[in-house]
Amino acid sequence: MSDNGLASHANGSPGIGRDSAAGHAVLVVGAGIAGMQSALLLAEAGHQVYLLDSAPGIGGSMHLLDRTFPTDSCGICLMLPGRAAYCPTIECDLHENIEILPYSEVEGVSGQPGCFTVTVRHKPRYVGIEACTNCGLCAQVCPVERPHEYEGESAKQRAIYQPPIRSIPSTYVIDMDYCTLCGECAEVCPVAAVDLKMAETETLFEVGAVVVSPGYEPVDAGIKGEYGFGHYDNVLSSIQFERMISLSGSTGGRIVRPSDGDPPRRIAFIQCVGSRDPSIDRGYCSSVCCMLTAKQVQLAKKLDPDLDVTVFFMDIRAHGKDFDDYFDRVEATPGVSYQRAMVSSIHEYKQTGNLLLNFVQEDGSVREEDFQMVVLSVGFEPARRFRALGRSLDIELNRYGFGQTPTFRPGESSRPGIFLGGAFREPKDIPETVVEASAVAAAAASARPEPWRRGPECPSIGRESQTGSEVGELPEEKDTTPACEAKPAYEAELDWPRVGVFLCDCRGEIGSVVDLPELSRHAQGFRDAAVVQIMDNACLLSGRRQIAERVAAAELNRIVIAGCPAREYQSAFDAMMREAGLNPALLGRVNLRGEIAWVHQGNGRDATAKAKELVQMAVADIRLAEPVHVENRQISRGVLIIGGGLAGMTAALALANMGHDVDLLERSNDLGGQLRELRYVPTGEDPVAFATSLIDAVESHRRIHVYRQAEITDVTGYVGDYRTTVAQTGEGSQVLSHGAIIVATGGHEVMPTEYLYGKDARVVTQRGLDRMLDQGEDIASDVVMIQCVGSREPERPYCSRVCCTKAVTNALRIKERNPGARVFVLYREMRTYGFREDYYREAREQGVIFLRYEPPDKPSVVQRDGELSIHLREPITGEDLELRADLLVLSTGVDPNEVDGLADLLGLPLDKNGFFQEEYPKMRPLDFTRLGIFMCGLAHSPRFSDETIMQAQGAAMRAAALLKQRTLQAPVPPVMVNERVCAACGQCVEICPFEARVLEAGSPTAEVIEVLCQGCGACIVACPNKATRRQGATVPSVYRVLDAVTQQV
């Protein structure tokens, strides 16, 4: 698996696994946002996945955040491949292709790509997952405390503690570093779940590929002793502050001073704590803290509008899509001030707990100010355990301890078959993490055309399922019946309802609160309740068999199971229904456990009364339920990719290697796009050789068909069945059919219109300088570079992301070529994020001079006596500077290619800058609302080539996960139309967010495109004639449910 599949995949033959048996799953190491995303995409595409995390439960830093920039919302469920999805932790737990390995470490990897043997150590949690009911009695008696990781280290929890509640499993665990083995917990535990003698175990796993995304750790704010973190109560880390403003945090969203519980009036934020700081060996920029602080300021101001906030910073790095907009809004908020200054020390007033900040301003003057609270914006660092992990995996780490990957194979580690993604590779924000996680999934998946699956010949050795806080056993063979089976010959459901009510005790969880015998007696009286039965464990195979037997014996045609929530064991119960000859839509579920037993403890009488009503509501509902027969639509597995540049070609290769046929459209006569212009990357790889091999691989791949000089003239259809009319110069046009489309239309360097560009040959762009350096031309000794030319200006308000790094690395190349050269960089904000910061620092060390300017006072360029003269007003002193230049280099931004017509044909939105507008910037950065269309590369926003490659592979994986099967069906029971009452008014068409409702001209009724329907039900409410209803459920059934509630009033 070298060269991103470039080397050996010309004929589509597999790289990894070519000669290995088809008996290996994928191991994903790290189950945070990245790991969960990789695992879910792989699982969706049919691969089997082990999802390992060193923490007691999965979820990673997802648990820290409940609102994220730039949307100030959560929306984490939207990162999942399908829209019908819960929180990612739940989805990972539910997915039949994912096995969670919590609280485990990788000890070693042997073998070859396609056939690794991984040794995994399972740490003892000293609490039995199966037995523990999370009652919390143990933590009440535990006499020792440990730092609370999630609330920031100053908060404490007991040595026996519960992981964050959304993690899975969230069962209690004992931290043996603090436990005194006093045994109190074991004594008090009512279910004998505590086992202080639990030993660690080891398991060997056979896997085909390994995806490594263990994330990051926040830098310990105490590392900067001068800020007094850990000594002064009112100095918080940004992690602690994040939890404080979080509604799920310890203060429930109130901003208070830890010292006295009073709300502070003045807060200071200090940026770059543990970032951009070589003195503590963290010379890199952590990329996200600027925006994280902006978000925290924004949320804090919402919680307390009178708050006075000062942010001390070096540069504002808002280099992501639309981040500048967000930052500008925050900066303009009344009561918020941003100060470019270095805080040198903090002192605490003993009496008040207030803090005196000592800081150096840009002009060198020193000032002091008082604040009531200080937040240290801490950077990311690799966790200490990553060193050991690197050794276990035998992969290279970079000088800071992050995973090392090459520029043009950005997901690949130094060891073939092991792929790296997320913040482990470089600090990054959530959208980039989601993209990378998708990309490394693609890298692992495209190693061979067929999915990675466990085989009987290499079972995981000697272990039992640990995933469940549940009794999760799936011993029976996998259910292969499609959800849309042919209508059964015997439509039992058409008979008069005979409902079987099964009351599950859930191993005592429910029966200990609800009086089940009483409930059972009562339920006998419900209308059409033919059988009422109490069971121990309905979810177990034995329980499901029992229910199926009763169906046959008592001729039941509808079932209600009262126990756990509907999402648990859904597929198992669906299979049970089919086995019993019933349509799964005729099963009703009542959540007695979550809605009653666990929330009304010690209140048996009211709990039982409520249970009676809930069960009656469910019986009333299921009595009227109808079978659902979801349309199963044949789809094309082929993918259309628009644009033959780096993004398009990368996506094409990834998909082709996963077994998809790809049509690649290129507007010009040549593949390559902007990649052809790329001559140099600072990491030393050869972009020209890379471009050549990539183009070769694409052109010679048997699954990729390239259409040159091609234009799209028409697009019809929808996900699974897009029909695109493609016209080629001189070849006429043809209609192509695809299941999905990837938009990779690219962008280009902006041609400047100012600073004498085009009027004086000594004024060039960075690209022009590239060419000069590349051709070995002499570089003059006085070089001036101007940043943000045509970027972050009214006509192009966005940051182009790449130009700062480009300028810095070109300045270094000039210095290398001609050490005596004087290079000046005139900038507004240096945005050399991530490890690019190293180049910035090196440039300063090499003597490159950086001078800041501020927009009203842009530099001006004139020719004087045949010389180029650049004037600049220094923003601090107000002094006018004049620089002489032999060469003026303009750092211009990136423009998207003109795609207005194409966007119209595809029905896709463009943002105000002409880039394609993704569905949801944070969690669905590659997707559109229109299903089955994805995007990557400069069509999305400006980015580096490694980022483009990641995005392209990510888009490919999204498409692959969607097209995994040859058929597609609605994710939930779709709506249907009663044609007799439909008046074809079109209100449903207007309200549908997914274009699933259509009204053909002249048609007497509106229709439903089932595969597009997401089941939200908006059209049901909108329909004035009530002609629309959800399949299986009728509006009257809701009324009957309501009757069941109110009859008891």
Partner 1 sequence: MSDQACEAKPAAQLAAASPEPRFEPKIVAFLCNWCTYTGADLAGTSRIQYPPNVRIIRLMCSGSVDPTYVLKPLLDGADGVLIGGCHPGDCHYQSGNYKARRRTIALKEILRSAGIDETRVWLRWISASEGQRFADTVTEMTEFLREKGPNPMRTEWAV
Decide whether 539 or 960 has the Cβ nearer to partner 1. Answer: 539
The C-alpha angle 663, 669, 672, rounded to 5 degrees, equals: 75
Minimal distance in Å, beta carbon 518 to partner 1? 8
Nearer to partner 1, 783 or 972 (CB): 972
E-strand stretches of 593-707: 633-634, 639-642, 662-665, 704-707
Q: How far is the CB of 209 from partner 1 (least distance, A)?
A: 32
**Strand-strand pairing, 710-718 and 704-707:** unpaired
Q: Is 151 or 426 the residue whose CB approaches partner 1 more closely?
A: 151
The residue ranges of DSSP E strands in 893-974, in sequence order, are 894-896, 933-935, 967-968
Q: Report the nearest approach of partner 1 to the CB of residue 625 (Å).
A: 14
Minimum Å gap between C-beta 355 and partner 1 is 31
| Helix/strand/coil for 107 | strand
What DSSP element (H or E) covers 289?
helix 289-303
Closer by beta carbon to partner 1, 618 or else 825: 618
The whole-angstrom separation of Cα 881 and Cα 784 is 13
Question: In this structure, are residues 893 and 796 in contact, taking their beta carbons and an 8 Å threshold?
Answer: yes
Residue pair 40/98 in contact by the 8 Å Cβ criterion: yes
> 580, 548 in Cβ contact below 8 A?
yes
CA 503/CA 611 separation, integer angstroms: 10
Nearer to partner 1 (CB atom), residue 271 or residue 591:
591
The residue (of 614 and 647) whose beta carbon lies closer to partner 1 is 614
Q: Least CB distance from residue 526 to partner 1, whole Å?
A: 7
Q: How far apart are the first and last CA of the chain?
A: 68
CB of 1017 to partner 1, least distance (A): 3
If the CB atoms of residues 83 and 498 are measured against partner 1, the closer one turns out to be: 83
**Quick one: 134 or 869, whose CB is closer to partner 1?**
134
Which among 379, 378, 425, 68 is positioned nearest to 215, based on CA atoms?
A: 425
Nearer to partner 1, 166 or 254 (CB): 166
CB of 247 to partner 1, least distance (A): 6
Look up residue 473 and give its amino acid: E
Nearer to partner 1, 65 or 176 (CB): 65
CA 25 to chain centre: 22
Q: Least Å distance between CB 1041 and partner 1?
A: 6
Token pair of 142 as six digits: 């535990």
| Min dist. Cβ of residue 291 to partner 1 (A) | 17
Nearest CA to 894 out of 783, 964, 801 is that of 801
Closer to partner 1 by Cβ: residue 847 or 993: 993
In this structure, the number of other CB atoms found within 10 A of the CB of residue 484 comes to: 16
The nearest distance, CB 620 to partner 1, in angstroms, is: 7
In the complex, what is the shortest distance from the CB of residue 614 to partner 1, in angstroms, rounded to a whole number?
7
> What residue type is 282 in one-letter code?
R
Angle in degrees, CA 598, 603, 604, rounded to 5: 90
Whose Cβ is closer to partner 1: residue 9's or residue 1030's? Answer: 1030
Quote the least distance from Cβ 565 to partner 1, whole Å.
5
Place of tokens 């990781």: 149
Which of 732, 712, 715, 691 shows the shortest CA–CA distance to 642?
A: 712
Decide: helix, strand or coil at residue 851: strand
CA atoms of 500 and 795, how far apart (whole Å) = 67
Instruction: Identify the CA nearest to 428 among candidates 323, 300, 278, 340.
Output: 323
The DSSP-derived string for 163-210 is: PPTTSBS---EE-TTT-----HHHHH-TT--B-TT---EEEEEEEEEE
The distance of closest approach from Cβ of residue 245 to partner 1 in the complex, given in angstroms and rounded to an integer, is 14
Least Å from the CB of residue 457 to partner 1: 39
Query: Which lies closer to partner 1 via its Cβ, residue 876 or residue 1021?
Result: 1021
**H helix intervals, 7-80:** 33-44
Least distance to partner 1, CB of residue 527, Å: 4
CA distance to 62, 123, 173, 665, per residue, from 50 (Å)? 19, 16, 21, 37
Q: Smallest distance from the beta carbon of 865 to partner 1, in angstroms? A: 59
Write the CB contacts of 957 (distance below 8 Å, at least 6 apart in sequence).
41, 45, 438, 439, 441, 442, 445, 654
The burial of 253, by beta-carbon neighbours within 10 Å (0-12 exposed, 13-18 middle, 19 or more buried), is given as middle
Provide the minimum distance between the beta carbon of 165 and partner 1 in the complex, in angstroms, as a whole number: 5
Beta carbon nearer to partner 1, 166 or 748: 166
The length of the chain is 1049
Indicate the residue among 270 and 996 with the shorter CB distance to partner 1.
Answer: 996
Spatial distance between the Cα atoms of 490 and 618, rounded to a whole number of angstroms: 25
In angstroms, give the least distance from the CB of 353 to partner 1.
Answer: 28
Cβ 160 vs Cβ 172: under 8 Å: yes
Number of Cβ atoms within 10 Å of the Cβ of 713: 13
Q: Cβ closer to partner 1: 38 or 616?
A: 616
DSSP state of 423: G
Q: Of 442 and 1023, which has the nearer Cβ to partner 1?
A: 1023
Which helix (H) or strand (E) segment holds residue 224: the answer is: none
- Do residues 443 and 411 touch, judged by C-beta distance below 8 A? yes
Rounded to 5°, angle at Cα 148 from 147 and 154:
65
Choice between 422 and 973, CB closer to partner 1: 973
Residue 412 is classified by DSSP as B
DSSP-derived letter for residue 976 is E
